C-alpha cells in the first residue's frame, strides 16, 4: 500500500482503534465472538463526497436527489445517518420501504424500483407520493389504471436497460443483453415503443437506468448514462416539450476490494460524466442517483474471534466465527468476491510477525466455509481476531441463517472527545430465543398434530 491516500490512512487508523476498543469494551470476546463494526465518520465522509462531487458539476439550482440504495446496507440507523447527511432512499421491496420510513426518509426523497411490484405496492407508493420507476410494459399498464383513478403526486418513470455489456461480474451486472431489469433498449422495436409510451402518457416524466454493479468500469458506467440521456433527448424532441424532466442514473460505482485506496472517487465519476454527457448537468434535467456499495462498503468491518488454529495436509487453518453467515457471496463464489483480511491479536492490536499461508475458516458445517483460502497472514492463534474488510455493503448486514448461526451485533463507532472510541448499538446480537422463534418455535407441534386436526 505504497501510495495510500490520507483519507484511507485515517480510515485504517480508526478501524484499528475500533477493533482494539471493541475488545477492551467487551463488544468482542469469548462470549461475543463475532460483530459488525461501522465507521460513522467514514460514512459521513462518503455522503459528503458524493454531494460535493455532483454539486461541482451541476448548474446551480438543479434539483439533485442522491437516493441511497437501501439494499446495500438495510439498517435503519444507517439510512437515518445518510438521511441526515442529505441523502434520500432507493427501495426495492416492501421491507426496504418500511426501513426507509422507519428511518424518517420522507416520501418525496424516496424512489421505488423493485422489478416485481404488486398492484398493492404500486397503489401504496402512489398514495404516499413516492417516485416509482416502472420496470416493463405490464407495469406501465398497471400505472395507467392507477393514474386514471387517482391523480398521481408521485413522479413516475420507466427503467430502461441500455444493454451495454456485463463488465467482469455477470451475476451482478444489470446491463447485459438479457438482464431481467427494465425495458431492453436495443431489442427490436423497443426504442420506438419507449418513445410512444411517453407520448401517450404525459405524466411519465422520468427516465431511469442503473448500470451496475461491482465489476463495471467507469467508462462503461458513463456510457450507460450517455445512452439514457440520448434517449431522454429523443423522447422530448418527439413529443415537442420537455416531458422527461428528471434522469435517474442509478448507482453502480465499484469499490476496489484489493486495496484500501479511496478510488474510484465520486469526483472522478462525476467529472467523467460531465465530460461525456455535459447536457445532463446544464440545468435542463433534474438528477437522481442511487449509490449503495460505494457509500458503505469501505466503512464496515466484520471482526471474529479465532476459536482454534489447526493444520490439515500441511495447511494451517484458523477456525473463526465469521463465515458464510456474514459473507455468503465470498464463501460461495470466492473468486469473484475476494475479501481482504486483517489480523489482530487477543487484545485487538494489529498482529505482526512473519506471514504464514493459511486458510481463514468460518463456523459453518461445510468445507467451503472459508473467508480466505491460502492467504499470507501473521500466524493466527486461538484468541486472536480476524477482520474481513469492506463488508459494510452487501456483507454482514445480509445475514444468511445457515446452521442457525445467530445474527451478530452491529455497532457504529466514532472517535470521542477524550481520544477514545465510542460505540452505538446499530443492531442487537440475535438471541437464541429469537433464533428459535423465527424457526417456528411457536408451532412446535404443528406437524405432529396435523393428521389429528384433519380427521376432526
Ligand atoms: C442495487 C441497485 C443500486 C445500487 O447499486 P450499487 O452498486 O450498490 O451502487 C441502485 N439502483 C438499483 C435499481 C439497484 O438495483
Among 255, 274, 292, the domain-final residue is 292
- Structural domain contains residue 313: yes
- Best residue among 65, 92, 250 to mutate for probing ligand 1, ranked by most atoms within 8 Å of CB: 250
Percent of the chain, pLDDT > 70? 97
Residues 100 and 124 in one domain: yes
Residue 56 falls inside a structural domain: yes
Ligand 1 centroid to Cα of residue 425, in Å, is 26
Residue 385 falls within a domain, yes or no?
yes
- C-alpha cell of 134? 416502472
Q: Are residues 217 and 358 in the same domain?
A: no
Instruction: Specify whether 321 is located in the same domain as 261.
Output: no
Report the distance separating Cα 168 and Cα 239, nearest Å: 38
Q: What local confidence, expressed as pLDDT, does residue 167 receive?
A: 72
218 and 258 fall within a common domain: yes
Contact 129, 101 (CB under 8 A): no
pLDDT of residue 1: 41
Give me the domain span that covers residue 197. 41-292
What is the rounded average pLDDT of the residues 354-371?
A: 97
Beta bridge partners of residue 424, listed in sequence order: 412
DSSP state, residue 163:
-
Q: Is residue 451 part of a domain?
A: no
pLDDT at 177: 79
Give yes or no: residues 268 and 336 share one domain.
Answer: no
- In our burial notation (b when 16+ CB lie closer than 10 A, e otherwise), range 419-454 reads eebbbeebbebbeeeeeeeeeeeeeeeeeeeeeeee
Please check whether residue 446 lies inside any domain of the structure.
no
pLDDT at 2 over 50: no
How far is the C-alpha of 51 from the C-alpha of 64, rounded, in Å?
9
Q: Within a domain: residue 106?
A: yes
Tell me the CATH number at 174. Answer: 3.20.20.10
Cβ atoms < 10 Å from Cβ of 133: 27
Among the candidates 248, 265, 292, a domain finishes at: 292
Which residues, judged by CB distance below 6 Å to any ligand atom, belong to the binding site of ligand 1? 69, 71-72, 90, 92, 113, 210, 212-213, 250-253, 290-294
Own/partner pairs, 127-135, CB within 8 angstroms, 24+ separation: 128/154, 129/153, 129/154, 130/97, 130/154, 131/155, 131/156, 131/157, 131/206, 131/288, 132/156, 132/157, 133/157, 133/158, 133/159, 133/206, 133/208, 133/248, 134/158, 134/159, 135/159, 135/181, 135/182, 135/183
- Does residue 390 lie within any of the structural domains? yes
- Summarize pLDDT for 416-442 with one digit per residue, the tens: 999 999 999 999 999 999 999 999 999
Measured between alpha carbons, how far apart are the two ends of the chain, in Å? 72
Under the banding of pLDDT at 50, 70 and 90, the label for residue 176 is: confident
Q: pLDDT per residue over 377-393, tens digit each? A: 999 999 999 999 999 99
User: What cell numbers appear for 391 in the block?
Assistant: 463488508
Distance 244 CA to ligand 1 centre (A): 22
Check residue 455 and give its pLDDT. 54
Residues 368 and 410 in one domain: yes
Residue 244 and residue 375 share a domain = no
CATH code of 306's domain: 2.40.37.10
Query: How many Å lie between the centroid of ligand 1 and the Cα of residue 445?
Result: 42
- Grid cell 418500511 is found at 98
1: in domain: no
Ligand 1 geometric centre to CA of 67 (Å): 10
pLDDT tens for residues 267-318?
999 999 999 999 999 999 999 999 999 999 999 999 999 999 999 999 999 9
User: Which residue out of 210, 215, 254 has the highest number of ligand 1 atoms within 8 Å of its CB and is therefore the one to mutate?
Assistant: 210
Question: CB–CB of 100/325 below 8 Å?
Answer: no
Whole-number Å distance between alpha carbons of 101 and 89: 9
pLDDT given at position 321 = 98
Question: Residue 212: its pLDDT value, please?
Answer: 76
Domain count, the chain: 2
Q: Is a pLDDT exceeding 90 seen at residue 91? A: yes
Q: Assess whether 372 and 278 both reside in one domain.
A: no
Name the average pLDDT for the chain.
Answer: 95
Q: Do 98 and 20 belong together in one domain? A: no
Residue to substitute in 47, 69, 132, 167 for testing ligand 1 pocket (most ligand atoms within 8 angstroms of CB): 69
Q: Within this chain, do residues 80 and 25 fall inside the same structural domain, yes or no?
A: no
Cα Rg of the chain, angstroms: 24
- The yes-or-no verdict on residue 179 having pLDDT over 60 is yes
Give mean pLDDT, residues 444-452: 91
Phi, psi angles (nearest 5°) of residue 325 = -70, -25
The pLDDT > 90 percentage for the chain reads 89
Choice from 290, 329, 397 to test ligand 1 binding pocket (greatest atom count within 8 A of CB): 290
Provide the whole-model pTM.
0.96
Point out which residues pair with 422 in neighbouring strands: 414
Number of H helices, E strands in the chain: 13, 18
Q: Which atom of ligand 1 is nearest to the CA of 290?
A: 10
- Confidence band (pLDDT; 50, 70, 90) for 226? very high
Q: Are residues 212 and 262 in the same domain?
A: yes
Cα 209 to middle of ligand 1, angstroms:
10
Q: By three-state DSSP, how is residue 287 classified? A: strand
Is pLDDT of 340 > 90? yes
Question: Which of 244, 259, 292 represents a domain boundary (last residue)?
Answer: 292
Report how far residue 191's alpha carbon sits from residue 59's, in angstroms, rounded to the nearest whole number: 29
Q: Provide the pLDDT for residue 3.
A: 54
Q: pLDDT tier at 369 (50, 70, 90 boundaries)? A: very high
- Shared-domain flag, residues 364 and 251: no
Distance 216 CA to ligand 1 centre (A): 12
Amino acid at each position: 500500500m505504497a501510495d495510500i491516500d490520507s483519507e484511507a490512512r485515517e480510515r485504517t487508523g480508526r478501524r484499528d482503534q475500533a477493533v482494539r476498543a471493541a475488545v477492551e469494551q467487551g463488544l468482542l470476546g469469548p462470549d461475543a465472538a463475532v460483530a459488525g463494526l461501522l465507521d460513522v465518520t467514514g460514512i459521513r465522509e462518503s455522503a459528503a463526497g458524493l454531494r460535493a462531487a455532483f454539486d461541482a458539476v451541476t448548474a446551480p439550482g438543479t434539483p439533485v436527489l442522491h437516493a441511497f440504495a437501501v439494499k446495500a446496507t438495510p439498517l435503519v440507523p444507517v439510512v437515518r445517518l445518510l438521511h441526515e447527511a442529505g441523502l434520500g432512499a432507493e427501495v426495492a421491496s416492501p421491507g426496504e420501504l418500511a426501513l426507509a420510513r422507519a428511518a424518517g426518509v420522507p416520501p418525496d426523497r424516496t424512489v421505488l424500483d423493485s422489478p416485481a411490484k404488486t398492484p398493492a405496492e404500486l397503489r401504496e407508493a402512489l398514495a404516499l407520493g413516492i417516485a416509482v420507476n416502472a420496470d416493463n410494459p405490464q407495469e406501465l399498464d398497471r400505472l395507467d389504471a392507477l393514474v386514471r383513478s387517482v391523480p398521481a403526486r408521485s413522479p413516475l418513470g420507466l427503467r430502461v436497460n441500455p444493454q451495454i455489456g456485463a463488465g467482469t461480474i455477470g451475476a451482478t451486472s444489470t446491463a447485459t443483453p438479457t438482464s431481467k431489469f427494465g425495458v431492453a433498449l436495443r431489442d427490436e422495436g423497443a426504442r420506438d415503443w419507449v418513445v410512444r409510451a411517453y407520448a401517450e402518457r404525459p405524466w411519465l416524466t422520468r427516465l431511469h437506468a442503473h448500470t451496475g454493479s461491482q465489476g463495471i468500469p467507469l467508462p462503461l458506467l458513463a456510457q450507460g448514462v450517455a445512452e439514457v440521456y440520448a434517449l431522454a433527448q429523443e423522447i422530448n424532441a418527439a413529443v415537442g416539450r420537455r416531458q422527461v424532466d428528471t434522469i435517474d442514473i442509478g448507482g453502480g460505482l465499484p469499490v476496489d476490494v484489493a486495496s484500501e485506496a479511496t478510488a474510484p472517487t465520486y469526483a472522478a465519476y462525476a467529472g467523467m460524466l460531465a465530460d461525456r454527457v455535459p447536457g445532463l448537468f446544464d440545468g435542463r434535467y433534474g438528477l437522481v442517483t442511487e449509490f449503495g456499495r460505494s457509500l458503505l462498503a469501505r466503512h464496515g468491518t466484520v471482526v471474529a474471534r479465532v476459536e482454534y488454529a489447526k493444520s490439515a495436509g500441511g495447511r494451517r487453518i484458523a477456525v473463526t466465527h465469521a463465515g458464510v453467515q456474514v459473507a455468503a457471496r465470498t464463501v460461495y463464489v470466492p473468486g469473484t468476491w475476494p475479501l481482504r483480511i486483517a489480523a489482530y491479536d487477543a487484545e485487538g492490536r494489529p498482529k505482526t510477525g512473519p506471514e504464514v499461508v493459511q486458510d481463514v475458516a468460518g463456523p459453518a458445517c461445510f468445507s467451503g466455509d472459508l473467508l480466505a483460502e491460502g492467504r499470507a497472514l501473521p500466524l493466527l492463534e486461538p484468541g486472536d481476531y480476524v477482520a474481513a474488510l469492506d463488508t459494510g455493503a452487501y456483507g454482514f448486514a445480509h445475514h444468511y441463517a445457515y446452521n442457525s448461526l445467530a445474527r451478530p451485533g452491529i455497532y457504529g463507532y466514532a472517535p470521542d472527545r477524550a481520544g477514545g472510541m465510542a460505540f452505538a448499538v446499530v443492531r442487537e446480537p440475535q438471541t437464541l430465543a429469537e433464533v428459535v422463534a423465527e424457526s417456528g418455535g411457536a408451532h412446535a407441534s404443528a406437524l405432529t398434530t396435523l393428521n389429528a386436526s384433519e380427521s376432526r
